[in-house]
Structure 1
Amino acid sequence: MDTDTTSNDFSLPIDLPERHRLLVVDDDLAVRMVSRLALTKKGYGVTEASDGYTALSWMDSHKFDAILLDARMPGMDGFETCRKMRDKLNGEPVPIIMVTGQDDDASIDAAFECGATDFVVKPLNWRLISQRLESLIGAGTVKRHLKNRSHQISSMLKTSSETMLLLDGDGIIQGCHQIARMPIGFRSHMIVGNHFLKSLREDSAELILAAWMRAHKTGECESFIVEHLEGNECHTVQGRFVRGAEGEWLCLLQDQSDSFNCEQQTYDLTFKDPATGFGNEKQLFFELNQRLQENRKSHLQTAILRFSASDIRRFEPTIGREGMITIAQVIVERLEIGLASYLSTLAPEAKRPEQLIARLSESDFVVVLSAIDDLGFIEDLSNLLLRRLSTIVEIGDHICSIDWAVGIADTIEASSTADGLLSATAYAIYSDFGSSNGHRIHRYNAELRAKARQDIELERLLRRDIADGVLEMAYQPKFNLSNLSLIGMEALIRWNNAELGYVSPARFIPVAEKSGLIISLSHLVIEKVFGQLAAWRDDGFEMVPISINISGIHLNTRTIVEELGAGIQQRRIPPELVELEVTESIMVDGVGKAFKNLNDLRAMGIKVAIDDFGTGYSSLSYLKDLPADCLKIDRSFVQSITSDSTAEAIARAIITVGHDVNLHVIAEGVETEEQLNKLAELGCDSVQGFFTGRPVPSGEFVTFFQDGRLVG
């Protein structure tokens, strides 16, 4: 039995029945175990080594028919190990198959330069590897016995599963073995006395002739692969020329159709979107990186058009998964036809871009245009494709109308990397700047790039100041309209940064939401507000409710109910003194955990107010089902309530319906006495705004406690 001094290397007993002895070299124990199981099933005897030094030590005392060698190992890597193995073999034609993690040209060239016979790419396809081992070991056997022609031929006939042709130096067939394994049309003229190359179809002969000429020039084994169409069936024939004795040559042939079909299926699973058959995210990145590299050499440009559907998932409950697949197929078909239609209108002398359509996600589709010398047509093309996509999609009895936004990025304005270009298209679509023009097509440009950099810097400073607790709270009073007494206040976050100065909440809150800082910001606000409530209580002030703005992101977390409950209990704050202000859209959606969390918080005694009411939805009928205690009329209605009859009518409707369902109604943004009087006339319950009191720091707010009534 073979033994080893290391605990991770072990081998099978040498008396087991086996066809060939293999050495498997890999630092990963799991890979070696899988290799052993797969190869021993095929009848191979397997010896393992966990590193290059151990492998070289095995070769001092054992002979192997083939070696499977990992390229990337700690210490001495596979490439250096391969070179030292070749030195030890001293010309012996033992096949060394290099296992690489990449199939790029550099890795392939490095493998062959260090003496590898062949290479395979992870993940390993053991069916394919076993077939390659058979062929390579057979070819190695042939070369090993070149000095004795009769022994050479008999050995090959016994050990190889390939079809073999014995050729003289001119390519005339001298003998055939197992020719029946070739497709009928391919083998029909493979007769002793015929010229091998002249027996082939013209499309196959050209590739095989090139390999034949290289073999004669170098004297080395030269491989070729040709496609042979026979009826409706396509065969993949793999072959190689091996120098024989006395000026003769061997042509080893194998029908690899099953193996190549298996490889194609693996490729499709990895790089193709199963719903559409077009490229997926992996293929998009791989292809895009290749094209960008080529374009840099030729000084040409690449542009990406990203089509993002904001509401495509809402159709699944009615049309099902099959319907969603159909929608995806319709989308890529429209993109493909629209792209072909537009490119056909270009002038004949114009350089046509290389194109690629891929599905980046369920709702995002990408068109890549590369090798472009003029980007002027990109927006026209985007408009055409957008019009095609915006047409309704009919799935059975259902009509699906999809809202699209388009992000455009190119290598001049955005980035020269695949990730940079795709990130630029996303930023163009989703940034506030990109959508402010009211259009659905947004192009990443210098101005947007500058804003992106500003947002990155703003996020960095905001992250630091949140961690340091630098942000402060301001408090705006709320007054009862019937007697103008103080009934509460709203807590508002304020940020004075040491480097930027005052930063508006309208600027930094969207950045916090996009960057994931909004929950940390909410925690800071809650901590400061609860601490202030406790301080005012301890100072003997008569307490009024305080409202806190909570984002939908925070409201959807699993822990918000426990967090607020723990904070209230720790500081002994009556729950009814805490009010959460949430947006209308969160309340109406009624999805996720937000809706349940609000019900749980109200059951705890915390009040809930619907902020900016009236701006998002036209129907008031859902109010009776909402977990809310208060409606806040949006300032846009209040500001024009004395001059616009429509604004007055909307405010009246909100107040009436709110009272009908027992909700307190407060108007925000009150700036004039006329607005105050009009709201009182309409029966509004309470108000807040600059006219009644601006937001002030906690130290200045105590003046409102002293009298509890509006002064002036």
Structure 2
Amino acid sequence: MAATTSLTDAQPAVAPQRYRLLIVDDDLAVRMVSRLALSKAGFGVTEASDGYTALSWLASHKFDAILLDARMPGMDGFETCRKMREQLNGAAVPIIMATGQDDDDSIDAAFESGATDFVVKPLNWRIISQRLSSLISASAVKKHLENRSHQISSMLKTSSEIMLLLDSDGIIQGTHQIERLPAELRAQLLVRRDFFQSLGETFSDSVMVAWAAAKSTQACERFVIEYFADGNRESLQGRFVPGAEGEWLCLLQGQSAALDCEPLAYKDSVTGTANERRLLEELRARLREDRETNTQTAVLRFSASDLRKFEPTIGRDGAAKVAQVIVERLELGLDSFLSTLPVETKRPEYLIARLSESDYVIVLSALYDSEFIDNLATLLLRRVSTSIEISNYLLGIDWVVGVADTSEASPTTDGLLTATAYAIQSDFQSSNGLRVHRYNAALKARISLDVEIERLLRRDIADGVLEMYYQPKYDLSDRSLIGMEALIRWHNAEMGFVSPAQFIPIAEKSGLIISLSHLVVERVFDQIVAWREEGFEVVPVSINISGIHLNTRTIVEEFRAGLQHHRIQPQLVELEVTESIMVDGMSKAFKNLTDLRDMGIRVAIDDFGTGYSSLSYLKNLPADCLKIDRSFVQSITSDPTAEAIARAIITVGHDVNLHVIAEGAETAEQLEKLTELGCDSVQGYFTGKPVPSSQFRMFFAGSLLAS
């Protein structure tokens, strides 16, 4: 992504961001002008210079619209648009295709690839802004209607009552279980007919009174329908329940059935245990009792990796059986554990509920002591973690348990359930290898900070706020500049400077690392071009690359397209990777790394000596350089062991024709010792601290030793 911070900052006024826009264009100047024009119009702009980068942005961020150049090197705009539509999976995100041609073939190709609209360059930004806003608004309306339709459809499918969906005029829009009505009445209640006229004059008056009252108060109103069937007088209880968008539900039951204006069942339809509604009401009641009896309530939340992944293998019936087995194991385990409690310990009241397809909750109340809860959670975790055999398939489910009680968490339904969610997010693992996480204030503070960092990082990556710093590398023999390492730095407007050691792990955990990696690569490529155009003799630039990014399917093509577009020789780019990636020779990352090196890109093994540290495997690795970890360099003049390790790395590295560089050099003595040991080059604060690109020019002249 092009560095446009200074240009953007120069604008006197920028409208508040209403929509998030992705601009895809290989022309840096077009992207810069686009950002300036559309940011001023209130759009939050994210840039991509090629189709591969755009698809990666789309995988990790939500956009309200996309402005896409048709003619790009590598994967053109038409192919990018087709892949975007596949990735969006039906989501109605407007895509405007921009091209320098307005011939019929180009227009047809744009719409056939899935574009929403088509514009011709040069772009009129006022018109583009208005068109984008119009398309985004239309998309939002369509999405709302689709969601509403799905909501009504789901309600009709899951209700056990006879149900009619009425519009605001009483016209029947849909029916559910109407076959349970007598044939004479059923024949009258047809879709698109007036409900009240269908009832006939003899018994429609009372229904009309309830209808008028319901519409007036927007509340549930009951009524009774009387009719004759087989010569007998029968009756139906009914109620009008307000929906949304002017729609109404007319719910009907036999007179003997109890009616309630609240939603339908308290039981989960698959397992027969309590559902979410029952859980919330029961938990609320038990918390009231806690206040009266001075007791505690604990909640254990068992969360599985997505159980839906098994459905293609075992079918919906099989998935239902899995849920039933899980509940059965929880019930048996709970009863078994509670029976072992000392006689003098009051047996707690419990409730098991199915909160979702992947989450099951146990509530234990009337507790005077909750010390046994962790042991109970561990026992139940062992039970549910045992493989389940369904239809000759053995299913292994990955579980994590979040535990919270009213001694630590807020004594409310939302407070307890939210606390279990905090606990589940924790990456803490118990010493026995089973994942039971207990909520406390310190955990909440840490998770809250991580969540806030992720939120701000997601925003700042998309807005291009993060900066690149560069640290020089020097040849130890003549102190000439032989390369530099690109380092990402984040100065957030709200949090100030955030260390890479803090935000990089969060980026990897949240999936933002690929977007961050794209940002780094694009900034580095743009910087190499800028220095080349200024007349500097450009040296190789090292980029730290995540194993997650190296495992992606498109990384090789991304680098190939980026190098070709910027006309950069592959030898000017070096990827720094960890030992773990290099050792796993069967991984996708290892294969991609081999392909990138075959392309001409250099590969360095970072922090060597801290991981596997096996010198014997070096001859088989696709690597050009070893970096001696700073922990050895910083004690190389005082610790004979550190010196011996550094000597061994340098010797073996040279034996297999690898360049060896030491990082973290901070003193003249360390520099002298590394030279004595035969190290090839050095990187550290003594020879040059990381600086922004604007300050790096001074290093092209040679080494500037620290005073």
2:537 maps to which residue? 542
| Aligned residue number for residue 455 of structure 1 | 450
CA deviations 1:519-541 (Å, max 9, x no partner) are 33333323332222222111111
Tell me, what secondary structure is at the counterpart of 2:568? Answer: coil
Shift in CA distance, 600/290, structure 1 to aligned 2, threshold 3 Å: farther
Of 192, 195, 202, which aligns to 1:55? 195
Aligned to 1:369: 364
Give the letter aligned to residue 60 of structure 1.
G
Inter-partner Cα distance in structure 1 for 2:174 and 2:603? 60
Letter in 2 for 1:550: I
Aligned residues of 2:637 and 2:669 also touching (Cα < 8 A): yes
Q: Where in structure 2 are the equivalents of 1:516-531 lying within 5 Å? A: 516-531=511-526
Q: 1:41 Cα shift? A: 13
Checking the alignment, whether the CA contact within 8 Å between 2:472 and 2:483 is kept in structure 1 is yes
CA drift at 1:575: 2.1
Q: Which runs of 5+ in 1 are unaligned?
A: 1-21, 103-109, 121-131, 137-220, 225-263, 273-277, 313-324
Aligned 8 A contact 2:300 2:363 in 1? yes
Equivalent positions of 1:102-501 (< 5 A) are 271-272=270-271, 285=276, 288-298=279-289, 299=291, 301-305=296-300, 343-344=338-339, 346-355=341-350, 368-379=363-374, 381=376, 407-414=402-409, 421=416, 424-425=419-420, 427-428=422-423, 430-431=425-426, 442-501=437-496
1:613 to 605, 608, 616: 608
Q: Is structure 2 residue 85 aligned with structure 1 residue 94?
A: no
- Is the contact made by 1:25 and 1:49 (CA closer than 8 Å) also made in structure 2? no
Distance 1:515 1:338, change over 3 A: same
Pairwise CA distance, 1:429: 5.5
1:412–1:605 CA distance, 2 compared to 1 (3 A): farther
Shift of residue 489, structure 1, vs aligned partner: 0.9
CA-to-aligned-CA distance 1:564-591 (integer Å, 9 cap, x gap) = 3343333322222122223333444567
Rg (Cα) greater in structure: 1
CA contact (8 A) 1:670 1:690 kept: yes
- Structure 2 vs 1, CA of residues 393 and 78 (structure 1 numbering), >3 Å: closer, same or farther? closer
User: C-alpha deviations, 1:140-183, integer Å up to 9, x for none?
Assistant: xxxxxxxxxxxxxxxxxxxxxxxxxxxxxxxxxxxxxxxxxxxx
2:526 maps to a residue whose letter is G
Q: In the superposition, relative to structure 1, how do residues 84 and 569 fare at CA in structure 2: closer, same or farther (>3 Å)? A: farther
- Structure 2: which 5+ residue stretches go unaligned? 1-161, 259-264, 308-319, 390-394
User: How many Å apart are 1:705 and its aligned residue?
Assistant: 0.6
- 1:692 partner SS: coil
Separation in structure 2 between the aligned mates of residue 622 and residue 418 of structure 1, nearest angstrom: 56
| Structure with more relative contact order (C-alpha pairs < 8 Å, separation 6 or more) | 2
Q: Work out which of the residue numbers 694, 700, 705 in structure 1 matches 2:700.
A: 705
What's the secondary structure of 1:690's corresponding residue?
coil
Match of 2:578 among 578, 583, 589: 583
- Write the letter of the residue equivalent to 1:57: Q
TM-score (norm 1): 0.56
1:253 aligned partner: none
Q: From the superposition, tell whether residues 57 and 427 of structure 1 become closer, same or farther in structure 2 (CA, over 3 Å).
A: same
**Which residue pairs with 1:83 in the alignment?**
223
Paired residues for 1:63-74 under 5 Å: none
1:107 paired residue number: none
Deviations along 1:613-639, one digit per CA (max 9) or x if unpaired, are 343436566555554433333333433
Partners of 1:47 and 1:431 in 2: CA distance: 54
Per-residue CA distance 1:471-508 (angstroms, 9 max, x = gap): 22211112234444322111112222333332222223
Distance 2:464 2:447 in 1: 25
SS of structure 1 residue aligned to 2:543: strand
Task: Return 285-294 or 620-629, whichever deviates more.
Answer: 620-629
Q: Deviations over 1:217-267 (max 9, x none)?
A: xxxx6579xxxxxxxxxxxxxxxxxxxxxxxxxxxxxxxxxxxxxxx9xx8
Residues 326-335 or 689-698, more deviating: 326-335
Q: 1:337 to 1:39 in 2, by over 3 A?
A: closer
Residue type at the aligned position of 2:631? S
Q: What letter corresponds to residue 346 of structure 2 in structure 1?
A: K
TM-score by length of 2: 0.56
**Whole-angstrom CA distance in 2 between matches of 1:691 and 1:544:** 20
2-side partners of 1:592 and 1:47: how far apart?
A: 62
Instruction: Please state how far the C-alpha of 1:665 moved relative to its aligned partner.
Output: 3.3
- Structure 1 residues 598 and 307: alpha-carbon distance in aligned structure 2, compared to 1, 3 A threshold: farther
Q: What is the identity percentage for the equivalent residue pairs of Structure 1 and Structure 2?
A: 59
| Equivalent-residue separation in structure 2 for 1:571 and 1:490 (angstroms) | 19
Q: Report SS of the residue matched to 1:408.
A: strand
- Report the equivalent of 2:527: 532
Deviations 1:34-72 (A, max 9, x none): 869977999974641358xx20122237999xx9xxx9x
CA 1:665/1:443 → structure 2, altered by over 3 Å: closer, same or farther?
farther
CA spacing shift, 1:685–1:470, aligned 2, 3 Å: same
* Distance of aligned partners of 1:49 and 1:436 in 2 relative to their CA distance in 1, 3 Å threshold: closer
**Contact kept? 2:276, 2:354, Cα under 8 Å:** no
Residues in 2 aligned to 1:359 and 1:88: alpha-carbon distance in whole angstroms:
42
CA separation in 2, counterparts of 1:535 and 1:82? 75
Whether the 8 Å CA contact 1:459–1:512 is kept in 2: the answer is: yes
Letter in 1 for 2:191: A
Where does residue 691 of structure 1 map in the other structure?
686
